[in-house]
Amino acid sequence: MSEIIRRLWICSAEDAGTERFVRATRATHVLNCAEECSAEEYPVGFEGKPLITWKIPMIDDEDGAEPEDIVAAAWKIREWLDSPKGGHVVLVHCRAGISRSPTVVMAYLILHCDMTFEEAETLVREARNFVCPIPYWRGILAGLEAVREAVLAAGPPGTEASAMPQSPETPVETAQSSPQE
């Protein structure tokens, strides 16, 4: 388990499913980045309240997630961390916390914390030195930096004109996320 910035954690599915870990982090929300992990495996959250969950079913290969899915997950993190209710703690996990969840957290840092790809990767690696996004996702992350302003201007997915702009580094296809709240 690794706190990347205040109230944003990367962990494995095992940690996310452990009551001790969920309570220690004061988690309120979980973003599941693993197709093979079920949302029913989470314990009760901090203060005995149910965890709010959302799933982006990623697989560790080039067909495992589209750029729009990763952008949608970054927007979901922002929505939760910036909620007017405040105080939300977000766990982002995949099976091992090595590739998929760090990719999504780096996308959040690039888009919403105004970091370069290198800065986001450095920050995540400082907290969790064994992260290793697959090369395809590294390309998507590098491309996000180039289209950041257009992505932010478009707003969250599901809003008018929210399609991710094309760039040479970032292929665009239809997103297939499956929200679970």
Q: Please give the pLDDT value at position 161.
A: 44
- Where is pLDDT greater, at 180 or 111? 111
Give me the mean pLDDT over the 158-173 stretch.
44
Residues 88 and 42: beta-carbon distance below 8 Å: no
3-state class (DSSP) for residue 170: strand
Q: How far apart are CA 9 and CA 27, in angstroms?
A: 9
pLDDT digits (tens, 9 = 90+) for 9-37: 999 999 999 999 998 999 999 999 999 98
pLDDT digits (tens, 9 = 90+) for 50-90: 899 999 999 988 777 889 999 999 999 999 999 988 889 99
Q: Please give the pLDDT value at position 134.
A: 93
Strands 29-32 and 90-94: parallel
Q: How far apart are CA 83 and CA 69, in angstroms?
A: 21
Q: How far apart are CA 30 and CA 49, in angstroms?
A: 13
Q: How confident is the model at residue 180 (pLDDT cuts 50, 70, 90)?
A: very low
Instruction: Quickly list H helices, the chain.
Output: 13-16, 19-25, 67-81, 100-112, 117-127, 135-154
Specify the CATH class of 2-154 in words. alpha beta
Residue with tokens 């780096």: 106
Domain coordinates of the chain in residue numbers? 2-154
Q: Where does residue 52 rank: exposed (0-12), middle (13-18), buried (19+ CB within 10 A)?
A: middle
Q: Residues of the chain with pLDDT > 90: what percent?
A: 67
